[in-house]
Structure 1
């Protein structure tokens, strides 16, 4: 499916937040990296579960049995989306909570003097759980540096950073700020050569790129449903071989088998229903005989559309003197997430101006990629402005953003 045939108008019809309203001027949502709008299918699935009778698990009555099946179908859905095994999928409050829980469980795998490798480009949710683990166990933390000119990881230093003492490598598949897609295949291969566990943060990648967990060969992967048109729900994928060994903190009577043993307490059943609804929406953009095929081809179509749309913005922003665009070179794979600053202007003030004058949702700040923000010295003026595209964004919206930015420049940079 090509960009020219991807039906943007019909895509928008799936999103209640995009429908005209007499109550307020329509929003233009460029804040997808912080969370996309929810597809109607996700909303309907949540309401249907709630209105059809909510229940807890493992009962002898119909609503409980339906909830049991809902969780299993949720695992099967994510297995199709990420090409993993259903028993490798666990649900939780969010990626951060799941990462801290798994980090605590990995304590026995880390000994004093061992090394944990994280990166300067990552969201802190894929840094601090492992830094905390290292602190608790007396391990050493090393950082893969980000290149301040290309906004890519300096992987030429990886051979020096990886040693026989390296026990865990945590890296994002894509930056939630610059959109840089990390060549994780090479990192995984080199980490496995020293027998290190590999953790992938796919929270920003999952809405934009097709992902194949089995082909990648990582040990742990995280993503979040609210980044791909669903509700607030965290998802962890843990390879069965590691998952079976993972000594999780749990209540004594709770299940000890995978993946249930990681799911402490009662799960957010209605959110899992919404997750399935979001996957149903994504399927509508793909082709194929099975759900897995439709999800895969849909994500390929989404990436194709978004790459072309992002290029329109990238070329525009690169040619505006007051703008500094934080974007990797053209030969680097990227998501449609673009970060920039405006000379001498606080990003908070600029974001407020876009909201007040054009009803545009454009985020500002460090976006929890605080190590990179500190290194690039963007915090003095409120961090970055970040514009992120989703399949429901139109070329007309992009053109309106260009008009708005030119108007802002005209007002704030007059001679």
Structure 2
């Protein structure tokens, strides 16, 4: 069993966690919208801007230093994703931009009558890029539903839709609305058996669980460091054979081979270096022994254990509320099927009203559709969406108890 996280110690590394609001200690339950960052990430970003700010490829010292940092950051992202070949990982502005670019490249290989599969459980960034690309190519889009009782994907429906015309299955690793973890390795196996590619949105899963693209067997996977304690950035994995084969929309002097051929224009060097610092922060939670990938393995064991402790505490309290509805898996024995992200609706108050009232007590939550538009439409939650409560490993049991006490005041 992994040594428990020293949460008090790691919290001291996050300046934002010392904030107060309305004379209350701020408690961040908005991690699904973006995490706070440790001082080491802030320092890394500042260091690039203060001391190594130059474009790449020159003999001047600042340019050589920029080259060194970007190359080291690239190695950190390769370790983070468990990629077999460094050429399979690259960065971009954000997950959405990277997905749109890949959707354009992939759709050039589609023809009328080809089929694409998306789901109603996904963030719209893994739906609309594919539906627009399919429209332009004349391909057919099939949307997979989820089970209403526990908000888990209908795998039988997905399997029945796969056939020789299926070109792509786009699915999220974990739902950013209700926390469901999808069985990605199984989905990739099913898609591969039908000859289809897989595109995995791992943005919401990345702060909660270890990613290993080699074990998953996916063709593409994308995540965002601002969700795992870093700056705004997108990081993409693509199987090398696809990255070499597909045509990238790029400038003529740009590199002709991956990963460079997929990195459009001048990158945000400070964000890339800050993203690598976020990976190293996570690795530091796994101790000092072993390679970075091994330390990440241990770190995520510790993260998962702590999140389960505080997540089950919150889940237990949410189940007792009479005037709230909890969307998604509510059974603590099924914890391995979810991350600690919870969506609620109330019999009387709107999600925004609840969010505003909780804010008065220093409790930072989120109201809306969370860009999980298909989910909210399917559940008749538009407009308004849900009140989303999302935990990260820097949250504490005391914060969870404060949140539950506040929610009970609305349970009437």
Q: What is the distance in 1 between the residues matched to 2:261 and 2:162?
A: 32
3-state DSSP of counterpart to 1:186: helix
Q: What is the distance in 2 between the residues matched to 1:234 and 1:112?
A: 31
> Judging changes above 3 Å, is the alpha-carbon distance between structure 1 residues 23 and 49 closer, same or farther for their aligned structure 2 residues?
farther
Q: What is the distance in 2 between the residues matched to 1:108 and 1:97?
A: 17
* 8 Å CA contact 1:11, 1:391 repeated in 2: no
Q: What is the distance in 2 between the residues matched to 1:200 and 1:53?
A: 34
Structure 1: gaps spanning 5 or more residues: none
How many Å apart are 1:108 and its aligned residue?
2.3
Superposition TM-score, scaled by structure 1 size: 0.95
More off after superposition, 303-312 vs 262-271? 303-312
* 8 Å CA contact 1:32, 1:389 repeated in 2: yes
Q: Which residue of 2 aligns with 1:63?
A: 62
Q: What is the distance in 2 between the residues matched to 1:184 and 1:21?
A: 39
Q: What is the distance in 2 between the residues matched to 1:293 and 1:28?
A: 31
Whether 1:373 and 2:376 are equivalent positions in the alignment is: yes
Q: Which residue of 1 aligns with 2:294?
A: 293
How many Å apart are 1:375 and its aligned residue?
0.9
Q: Which residue of 2 aligns with 1:336?
A: 340
Q: Which residue of 2 aligns with 1:266?
A: 266
Q: Which residue of 2 aligns with 1:53?
A: 52
Q: Which residue of 2 aligns with 1:395?
A: 397
Counting matched residue pairs gives 407
> Judging changes above 3 Å, is the alpha-carbon distance between structure 1 residues 120 and 71 closer, same or farther for their aligned structure 2 residues?
same
Q: Which residue of 2 aligns with 1:350?
A: 354
* 8 Å CA contact 1:94, 1:224 repeated in 2: yes
Deviations 1:233-259 (A, max 9, x none): 111111111111120111111111111
> Judging changes above 3 Å, is the alpha-carbon distance between structure 1 residues 300 and 372 closer, same or farther for their aligned structure 2 residues?
same
3-state DSSP of counterpart to 2:118: strand
3-state DSSP of counterpart to 1:149: coil
More off after superposition, 166-175 vs 11-20? 11-20
Q: What is the distance in 1 between the residues matched to 2:368 and 2:62?
A: 44
Q: What is the distance in 2 between the residues matched to 1:405 and 1:73?
A: 45
- Matched ranges for 1:124-273 at <5 A: 124-273=124-273
Q: What is the distance in 2 between the residues matched to 1:337 and 1:180?
A: 8
Q: Which residue of 2 aligns with 1:318?
A: 319
Deviations 1:293-316 (A, max 9, x none): 111210121112112211111111
Q: What is the distance in 2 between the residues matched to 1:71 and 1:65?
A: 10
Structure 2: gaps spanning 5 or more residues: none
Q: Which residue of 2 aligns with 1:360?
A: 363
3-state DSSP of counterpart to 1:87: helix
Q: What is the distance in 1 between the residues matched to 2:240 and 2:68?
A: 21
Q: CA RMSD in A?
A: 1.5
> Judging changes above 3 Å, is the alpha-carbon distance between structure 1 residues 143 and 61 closer, same or farther for their aligned structure 2 residues?
same
3-state DSSP of counterpart to 2:153: coil
Q: What is the distance in 1 between the residues matched to 2:228 and 2:159?
A: 35
How many Å apart are 1:318 and its aligned residue?
1.0
Q: Which residue of 1 aligns with 2:406?
A: 404
More off after superposition, 185-194 vs 68-77? 68-77
Q: What is the distance in 2 between the residues matched to 1:337 and 1:23?
A: 25
Q: What is the distance in 1 between the residues matched to 2:247 and 2:53?
A: 31
Superposition TM-score, scaled by structure 2 size: 0.96
